[in-house]
Amino acid sequence: MHAHSHSRYLTGLLLAAAVSAGALPRTISAQGIALSPELTLAKAALAKYADPIAAVKDGYYSTVACIDFPKGAVDGPVTYAPGAMGIHFLNPANIGPKLDPTKPQVLIYEPVGNKLVLTAAEWLMPVAASGGVAPVIFGQTLTGPMNGHEPIMPASLTHYDLHVWLWKNNPRGMFTSTNSAVHCPVGGTYTVALGEHHH
């Protein structure tokens, strides 16, 4: 075994020992996989927003509409698989040229009975703030550029975004925009079902 390989082997053993001893916390995602340190930090920082009133107090404003893509959609360069997103709570103060794991621009809630249940967070950056380069967070390049999503934001707000399903399993993966396990009330007053070719 070469010295370099031996060193990596020992590092791996020490890391495994530290994790099993509880020295490094292992946070498990809704998908049942271990989260990266950056995602663990984000999930811990955002846990208080399980209460949507706490989100409102911190500057997140409900867009009211429950966004659903029952048949999926194509929006410019983005293809949405069938599924819903839920209700977006937007914090304008977090919009800018930098992305912070602990300050998403959007929190996403699913209406369940008479409650709003925190399911995901979304990191969003306007193209105008990005310098024309798709931003990266959590090792993921944001999707886009795309137009703003009517009716919850102006179509003129061209942006990049990344949905992260930290609190609800997404069968298609943690970073997929729509989630087939999330449901908006069918025919609900505030349910907005977007069609196959949303523009």
In the predicted model, what is the mean pLDDT of residues 152-165?
Answer: 89
Residue 3 falls inside a structural domain: no
**Rounded CA separation 149/188 (Å):** 19
Residue 193 pLDDT greater than 90, yes or no: no
Q: Residue 80 domain-assigned?
A: yes
**In the prediction, which pLDDT does 111 show?**
97
Return all residues near 126 (Cβ < 8 A) that are at least 6 apart: 95, 157, 158, 159
Tell whether 167 is covered by a domain.
yes
Residues 1, 9 contacting (CB under 8 angstroms): yes
Among the residue ranges 64-78, 113-127, 128-142, 175-189, the one predicted with the least confidence is 64-78
> What are the φ/ψ torsions at residue 106 (nearest 5 degrees)?
-140, 140
**What predicted TM-score, i.e. pTM, was given to this entire model?**
0.81
Mean of the per-residue pLDDT values for the chain? Answer: 84
Residue 104 lies in a domain: yes
At 2-53, the pLDDT tens digits run 444 444 443 343 334 334 444 444 555 555 567 899 999 999 999 999 999 9
Amino acid identity at 198: H
Q: Is the residue at 6 inside a domain?
A: no
- Looking at the domain assignment, is residue 137 inside a domain? yes
In the chain, the number of structural domains is 1
Structural domain for 70, as ranges:
27-193
User: Residue 97 domain-assigned?
Assistant: yes
Collapsing DSSP to helix, strand or coil, 150 comes out as coil
**96 in a domain, yes or no?**
yes
